[in-house]
Structure 1
Amino acid sequence: MGLSQRSRRLVPLAFLGVAGVALAGCGAPGAPGGGGGDGGGDSNTVTIYGTIVDDEAKLLQQSWKDWAEENDITIKYEGSQDFETQLGTRAQGGNPPDIAIFPQPGLLADFASRDYLKPAPAAVEANAKEYWTEDWVKYGTVGDTFYGAPLMANVKGWIWYSPAKFKEWGVEVPTTLDELNTLTATIQSKTGTAPWCAGFESGTATGWPGTDWIEDYVLRTSGTEVYDNWVAGDVPFTDPAIKGAFDSVGEILLNPSYVNAGFGDVRSINSTAFGDVAPKVASGECALTHQASFLSGFYPEGTNIAEDGDVWAFMLPGKTADETTVTGGGEIVGAFSDSEATQKVLEYLSSPEWANSRVSLGGVTSANNGLDPENAKDPILQETIKILQDPDTTFRFDGSDLMPGAVGAGTFWKGMVDWVNGASTDDVLTQIQTGWPSS
């Protein structure tokens, strides 16, 4: 799968605000939900629309092929990189798909708040409550109504490294943030080169990898209450807790002695594509990089990803060794139709049977606790599934995906770029905060 497709689905999407504007322009709120106009009147045909394209879209369709044939249901999938805008246009025109795979909870809430979406069937809600944590169920709930079950998921905050190099340097995986800072200094002193590499470049979405850094540090240094209030806009970016996270990240990313291994100076972070750091880690030129589980797809062919292999990863630690908070992303499935066939498809997509079918095809994970981790061929994805299924894990959705699009996919991304380019932290935080709606 190409870089643009992977970044499109698995990182914050740029157009949440655009979709909201399109919907707001359709007239009075509360426009009636569509009936899935693409079905052409065939009660056994269900249309699904999402951001998943190319090879990954083929795997998605393969995942439900046998089930659909057994149940005499035709599923027509369409993937688009202009999903957010087009979905709004189709909903306004009374021609929505039967089902949409939403890459952001906020986008699902936007459609639900305008009465475009149908509440999830009881069987889907039962599956969600049985096979997902309360946090995940909440992401598909708007007000007191449950609209959609999760589909796939990823865990962010992995620190990728070379086990062979760690052995050569006589260093170990850190268990706290302080130990991570000590590890960074130790590697720099032993090698005389920058330990870290980072890439923020991602086309029109440049800057998003930086938001992941900040989100991870806010969660780990200030806890879930501050994180949740920050995402909701009740804790501003200018708050000392958020500035503290920037300062902590800056000790690494703004330190010319610590970055940007294999690429250049601090500012080269903004011109380095996020996936391009993977080969540098595999070759040993870069000792450490921070990226989600999907980075495994960017290593050169033949790279052995294993605890004793060419590359491996550990989860960004917290202030203490026993912390189990993580950030991540995923999709929520919502429906514009309540036809019988649509409800059957929704129930299947929320089941462990579908999760095991899709994960066994490779490249993705799910937070469904009925999923067998062994079905994931990639060992990092197996570890990711274990984290997602662990009842002691506290999961928080990617903060920028939950914020209004003008912030999460706007001023926050731009602010990270400006920050790396040398703007002061105070100025950057003030600038990011301007993206929040005034009311």
Structure 2
Amino acid sequence: MAHKSQRRTALAFASIVAVSLSVAACGSSDDGGGGTDAGASGDTSSVDCAPYEAFGDLKGKTVSVYTSITAPEDEPHINSYKPFEDCTGVEIKYEGSKEFEAQLPVRVKGGNAPDIAYLPQPGLLKTMVATGKVIPAPPETVANVDKYMPDFKEYGTVDGKFYAAPLGANVKSFVWYSPSAFEEKGYEIPKTWDELLTLSDKIAADDPEGKPWCAGIESGDATGWPTTDWVEDVLLRTAGPETYDKWVKHEIPFNDPAVETALAEVGKILKNPKYVNGGQGDVKTIASTSFQDAGLALLDNGGCYMHRQASFYAANFPEGTKVAEDGDVWAFYLPAKDESTKPVLVGGEFTAAFADRPEVKAFQTYLASLEWANERAKTCGAGGCVTANTQADASLLKNPVDKLSAEILTDKATTSRFDGSDLMPGAVGSGTFWKGMTNWITGQDDKATLDYIENSWPKS
């Protein structure tokens, strides 16, 4: 039986995006995807500051934010702070880092913690709470979460105490491709996993100069995380959600036969020299290719044909790229074993505070508010606008990637599961799992990889 919290997660994500389907038109991506607003321009004359009056006058105060979200994905986040800054007078200092997961514990231990951190793993939240440095969320933040995002509250709770409010939500089970390349070659979107492999074989035979797939897992100190998504997505497809739930909770070992099967299936693509690495080189180049750059070969007239990555990847394509079904790049659902089921891997971030100053409490509360969720939609740009706020105004979503996410997540056949590595203990989920999968890409065999990660699981 699925864990109660994970069953609720599936419902939560469905409710997050259900309202998105009522949007009459999502707009084309060549309009930049984001609306203009007074807050983003710094003009407060047309901003309704009434919702911000409760925060008081914070002029001269600063709040530092540390996150793994870097350029070009950072700008929409920074812009979403503008009404809060303009109406309260506070200054938000944003810092994105590829070394976030490794450096945050170092900074906290060294007494240099940020005021607010965006934690992409609930497992990392538990690790940080264990330091004694994370401040429980203030009542105002809790009230917002209870009102707008109750199904996510458990993921920001450690030992019965609520610390971190949910922020964004994204779909990970996407395969990016070039619609024009598919049309030119006569390729159809695969509906099953076997069809996906058959298509990969056909592309490899048709185009000896290109490759069916391009991939990259380099991400600074977080190198390896994209391969963990591959394993999780495929495990959901080969073993089902109940086995996935047990694996995440370590109710079955990390190297269980079901996981061995899933990793072998991933290897059929990522370790197949006939399939990868389009635009980069051989299989081992996956480890040295940044995840941001990996899919750009899709624009390279057949450099590669497919790239598995989450909805937020839309922001990584160069300015002017049309991200749409009839555009330069688009995405399809990573197929399951058959068309009767639709497992979907999802992820998100959580805001944790390391200081209890009034301005920090105010900003954490703002990030859990309806005002922020709507501002995020306005400033979003190239996709990934879906937040964890169930009451956000869906009419503000302007990007077709978000509409596609909504369609997938509200499909009656869909079963959603939160990113497994994000739920695991930090030492595993953002530690040995990443490292082990990097070693796997560069030549380590399946058994040694899974045994290494299993042996690293905390004993208590």
TM range (shorter): 0.7 to 0.9
Shift of 1:243: 0.5
Q: For residue 186 of structure 2, what is the aligned residue in structure 1? A: 170
Distance in 2 of aligned mates of 1:199 and 1:84: 18
Matched, 1:347 2:365: yes
Shift of 1:106: 2.0
Distance in 1 of aligned mates of 2:103 and 2:224: 24
Q: For residue 182 of structure 1, what is the aligned residue in structure 2? A: 198
CA shift digits 1:120-168 (9 cap, x unpaired): 345533433443372x332112233322221123321210111122223
CA distance 1:394–1:138, shift in 2 (3 Å): farther
Matched, 1:260 2:283: no
Matched, 1:279 2:300: no
Q: For residue 405 of structure 2, what is the aligned residue in structure 1? A: 384
CA shift digits 1:336-388 (9 cap, x unpaired): 45666555433331123211212321254223233345534442244335556
1:289 alignment partner AA: H
Which SS does the other structure have where 1:320 is aligned? coil
Q: For residue 39 of structure 1, what is the aligned residue in structure 2? A: none
CA distance 1:97–1:281, shift in 2 (3 Å): closer
CA distance 1:230–1:74, shift in 2 (3 Å): same
| Larger deviation, residues 78-87 vs 233-242 | 78-87
Decide which of 427, 430, 439 is 2:448's aligned counterpart: 427
2:322 alignment partner AA: N
Cα pair 1:373 1:382 within 8 Å, conserved: no
Matched, 1:292 2:310: yes
Q: For residue 391 of structure 2, what is the aligned residue in structure 1? A: 370
Shift of 1:222: 1.9
Matched, 1:251 2:261: no
CA distance 1:217–1:380, shift in 2 (3 Å): same
Q: For residue 406 of structure 1, what is the aligned residue in structure 2? A: 427
| Larger deviation, residues 374-383 vs 422-431 | 374-383
Cα pair 1:324 1:394 within 8 Å, conserved: yes
CA distance 1:309–1:397, shift in 2 (3 Å): same
Q: What are the residue-to-residue correspondences of 1:132-281 with 2, within 5 Å?
A: 132=149, 134=151, 136-192=152-208, 194-281=211-298
Shift of 1:288: 1.0
1:155 alignment partner AA: V
Cα pair 2:215 2:286 within 8 Å, conserved: yes
Distance in 1 of aligned mates of 2:412 and 2:131: 34
Shift of 1:318: 2.0
Cα pair 1:215 1:327 within 8 Å, conserved: yes
Cα pair 1:48 1:101 within 8 Å, conserved: no
Cα pair 2:113 2:354 within 8 Å, conserved: yes
| Larger deviation, residues 380-389 vs 358-367 | 380-389
1:273 alignment partner AA: S
2:426 alignment partner AA: G
Which SS does the other structure have where 1:287 is aligned? strand
Cα pair 1:156 1:292 within 8 Å, conserved: yes
CA distance 1:278–1:370, shift in 2 (3 Å): same
Distance in 2 of aligned mates of 1:243 and 1:90: 36
Matched, 1:308 2:329: no
Structure 1: give runs of 5+ residues left out of the alignment: 1-41
CA shift digits 1:177-198 (9 cap, x unpaired): 2222232233334445531122
Which SS does the other structure have where 1:195 is aligned? strand
CA distance 1:258–1:133, shift in 2 (3 Å): farther
Identity among equivalent positions (%) equals 46
Cα pair 2:172 2:311 within 8 Å, conserved: yes
Cα pair 1:367 1:385 within 8 Å, conserved: no
Q: Higher relative contact order at CA 8 Å, sep ≥6: structure 1 or structure 2?
A: 2
Q: For residue 15 of structure 1, what is the aligned residue in structure 2? A: none
Which SS does the other structure have where 1:159 is aligned? strand
Distance in 2 of aligned mates of 1:55 and 1:277: 15
Distance in 2 of aligned mates of 1:388 and 1:237: 27
1:210 alignment partner AA: T
Distance in 1 of aligned mates of 2:182 and 2:441: 28
Decide which of 61, 73, 84 is 1:67's aligned counterpart: 84
Distance in 1 of aligned mates of 2:457 and 2:159: 21
Cα pair 1:198 1:289 within 8 Å, conserved: yes
Distance in 1 of aligned mates of 2:414 and 2:140: 26
Which SS does the other structure have where 2:305 is aligned? coil
Structure 2: give runs of 5+ residues left out of the alignment: 1-57
TM-score, scaled relative to structure 1: 0.78
CA distance 1:128–1:323, shift in 2 (3 Å): farther
Shift of 1:292: 1.7
CA distance 1:78–1:182, shift in 2 (3 Å): closer
Cα pair 2:85 2:92 within 8 Å, conserved: no
Cα pair 1:206 1:417 within 8 Å, conserved: yes
Which SS does the other structure have where 2:213 is aligned? coil
Count of residues in correspondence between the two structures? 397
Cα pair 2:63 2:359 within 8 Å, conserved: no
